[in-house]
Amino acid sequence: MPSHPAAPSRLGDPRSPAPAPRPASAVVLEVRTGGVGTVAHRGREVPTAFRKRPRLGPVAVGTEGLEGDAQADRRVHGGPEKAVCVYPVEHYAAWRDELGADLPPGAFGENLLTRGLTEDDLLLGDVLALGTATLQVSMPRRPCYKLAAVHGLVDLPDRVQASGRTGWYLRVLTPGTVRAGATAVVVGRPARSATVREVNRVMNLDRDDLPAAAALAALPTLPARWRDTLARRLRGGTEDDRARLWGPVSESP
């Protein structure tokens, strides 16, 4: 399996050694898409496109995502920076051990279920060839309360974020088609970057690590919205994720 040089393991720390080169390809086990449905949350139905079904054969993918896929709330889901959601099958065993129950494929709302690459292997900005499409790692997935609602586990989004087993999003550089059984190969790697796991650590977990926040904000492939968040943090601002992780206290009809 081909490999590429890896980035330093911790942003903003020049003493941090670079890890060994990482695997640079993954097999797509499933391609999944779905429409908008509902799920119960705090006694009422809320819209979600979380539940997705596996697709057979080639599926078109463009800058807004996979053909036949939908998002219930376009303010926070979908769009060019979140065109495709990926989750590694390797994590399912860890969740089985942690939760004491098997979760079925698609349990994390992923579009692509893969084997071979995890958050420790991929860097922000990595370019992947998959089928006839070219895609780029854009950001870690930030889980929301609808993950908890679907599984009836109120703290699951917080646990996913804290574990680093978040999955990640891809932006589409060249539209094409993808299919189950295809191999995604890393064909380009930025000169300066950080692993998906490290980006999650800096963005969501260790928010007092300001040197790392400054280093992350300087990465050219970081989405503009996240760069703005880090700029506010560096000016002394705070972030409140409670509504994302636990759900709004009330929602209008």
pLDDT at 10: 78
The parts of the chain modelled with pLDDT lower than 50 are 1, 251-253
pLDDT at 11: 82
How is residue 178 written in tokens? 């993808």
pLDDT at 1: 47
pLDDT at 13: 73
pLDDT at 73: 73
pLDDT at 125: 96
pLDDT at 72: 76
pLDDT digits (tens, 9 = 90+) for 88-113: 999 999 999 999 999 999 999 999 99
pLDDT digits (tens, 9 = 90+) for 42-67: 888 999 999 999 999 999 999 999 99
User: Using CA atoms, how far apart are residues 35 and 48, in angstroms rounded to an integer?
Assistant: 8
Prediction pTM value: 0.91
> Within 13 Å of residue 231, how many CA atoms lie on the same side as its CB?
9
Domains and CATH numbers, the chain: 20-246 (2.40.33.20)
